[in-house]
Amino acid sequence: MIIGVPLETKQGERRVALLPRAVEEIKAAGHDVRVETRAGLAAGFDDTAYREAGADIVVAKDVWDSDLIVKVKEVQEADLAIMPRGATIFSFHHLPGEPDRTRELAAKGATAIAFEMVRDARGQFPLLAPMSKIAARLGVEHGMALLGASAAGERRRALVLGAGNAGMSAARAASRLKADVVILTRSNGSVEDAKDAGFKSFLSTPENIEQYALASDLIVGAVFVAGEPTPKLLPRELVKRMKPGSVIVDFSIDAGGVAETSRPTTHEEPCYIEEGVIHCCIPNIPAADPPAASKAISEAALPYVLDMASHESVAAALTRNPELRDAVLLWQGHINHEGIATEAWLPYTPLTDTMLAESA
């Protein structure tokens, strides 16, 4: 199989999906790797490092002609312009709330296997988790810095919405920065887990959200519902009543964000003020630490890439690997996720063994 690693085209994105060490392992398994020139430069790996690992250094068009594209962020307009029909892309896709991109991928006959939908046998998200931890650290540090120095003896109050990898990492980061932390989450089990970790935690009822949002200096949106838009836990009317100058750091922005006032920002312009509240909603915040983030993605993605490459086709791999199969959002232009299909006003087609067998 030929694996292609393109240069990321999303604004501010500096990560690369596979590092040279991963290329060496893929080559050792008998496969070819094409890396777009300068794809790893921002992460600290130049073309020479990839060439020495056994990759062919090529231009974008040749990368996209590979059997399997492995990239970090969702397909951009620049990618669509050169993407051949029938491309298979293993990356973060974040299609909920993006019906136009869904329609464009479907029109290209693309196969989209989503990093964020890969769930292991323990129910964990092995590709999403390391990015969530890095995002939490960077986002909370930035949010606390925006609040500035507190008065002597005064501790900042932080509210974390969500108790998954991002939420717990954010809570720990805020605690290290001497904030008083409350975690609101949707299940009794996760409430108890957060308490066991040493945090105040309650169910995320509208009453609790209102109470703690109005008392907080920093709110972290860390809610993730696989394949679904993020619920709007902070309506505009509530944001209006929050402390002036308080901060919302919304890690959930890839799926719409936790606040009605949230909209995507960039590394170049990370924040804006709405209703007197500072909002920071960078979808690809781990790109601010490209070496660490690229290493984490590469290590997490490599076993799945090797698994797909070890079979006679990607279709054959999916029949044997439920972790990957459940992460397929589009198969050869057919939308395999009901919610995403509904948003795009396109037919929903469940992925079946017959479909895979016909493609193998």
> Which of 209, 220, 225 has its CA nearest to residue 116?
225
Annotated catalytic residue within 217, 250, 254, 289: 254
Give the separation between CA 104 and CA 161, rounded to whole angstroms. Answer: 33
Q: Is 94 a catalytic residue?
A: yes
Give the separation between CA 69 and CA 5, rounded to whole angstroms. Answer: 6
Annotated catalytic residue within 94, 279, 334, 337: 94
Residue 39 DSSP class = T
Cβ contacts of 4 within 8 Å, gap of 6 or more: 33, 34, 35, 36, 62, 63, 64, 65, 66, 67, 68, 69, 70
CA distances from 165 to 37, 186, 231, 287 (A): 33, 14, 18, 18
Give the separation between CA 134 and CA 81, rounded to whole angstroms. Answer: 31
Sign of CA dihedral 263, 264, 269, 270: positive
Q: Is 311 a catalytic residue?
A: no
Asked whether 357 and 315 are in contact (CB, 8 A), the reply is yes
CA distances from 152 to 158, 174, 215, 316 (A): 18, 18, 19, 62
Asked whether 277 and 242 are in contact (CB, 8 A), the reply is yes
Amino acid identity, residue 164?
A: G
Q: Measure the N-to-C terminal CA separation of the chain; round to a whole number of Å.
A: 13
Asked whether 116 and 297 are in contact (CB, 8 A), the reply is no
> Which residues are tagged catalytic?
94, 254
